[in-house]
Amino acid sequence: MQQAGGGSETEVTWEDQQNINKFGRLNNRYHELEDEIRIAKEANENFEDASNELILTDEEVVRFQIGEVFAHVPKDEVEMRIEQMTETTTKHLEKLKDEKDAVVAQMADLKKVLYAKFKDSINLEED
């Protein structure tokens, strides 16, 4: 996002400045959320792969990573743990997606307000 000027005479009020600041903050938050959502999705995919591997294996005891070590954990417990982790991550993912939608909506509103006042003197698009 840049604010470009072309020698225009539109005055910038403190309220305008605050709107621009808010847009900047929202834009940053949007990119952070995109990254976090991508990471959460990858985590869920990994859990699903692990789950599938678990079904295929015929061992009763699985080496499950806890912290930095691999503990010998019975298969049932591993299944339960993976389910729990998937559920936590999915809930987290939902929350992130909701926040992202809210941020996008707020950014659209601010764009309307700022473009209405500044028209071509301001650029709020991704470069």
Partner 1 sequence: MATSASPQQPGGAVVAERRGIPAASFVEDVQIYLNQLGLDVNSTLAFLQERLQQYKVVEMKLLAQQRDLQAKIPDIEKCLDVVATLQAKKGTGEALLTDFEASEGIYSRARVEDIDSVCLWLGANVMLEYSCEEATSLLRKNLENAKASLEVLIADLQFLRDQVTITQVTIARVYNWDVHQRRVRQALASQDS
On whether the CB atoms of residues 114 and 19 are closer than 8 A, the answer is: yes
Q: Tell me if 70 contacts partner 1 by CB under 8 A.
A: yes
Q: How near is the Cβ of 55 to partner 1 at its closest, in Å?
A: 22
Q: Does 9 bind partner 1 (CB under 8 A)?
A: yes
Give me the 73-112 binding string for partner 1, x by CB under 8 A, dash otherwise.
Answer: ----------------------------------------
Shortest separation between residue 122's beta carbon and partner 1, angstroms: 9
**C-alpha span between 52 and 13 (Å, rounded):** 59
Tokens of residue 119, six digits: 């028209």
Distances (CA, A) of 12 to 9, 81, 117, 124: 9, 55, 9, 16
Among the listed residues 58, 72, 116, 126, the single contact to partner 1 using CB under 8 A: 72
Give the Cα separation of 106 and 108 in Å (integer).
Answer: 5
Provide the binding-site residues for partner 1, judged by CB under 8 A: 2-9, 12, 14, 17, 20-21, 24-25, 28, 63, 66-72, 121
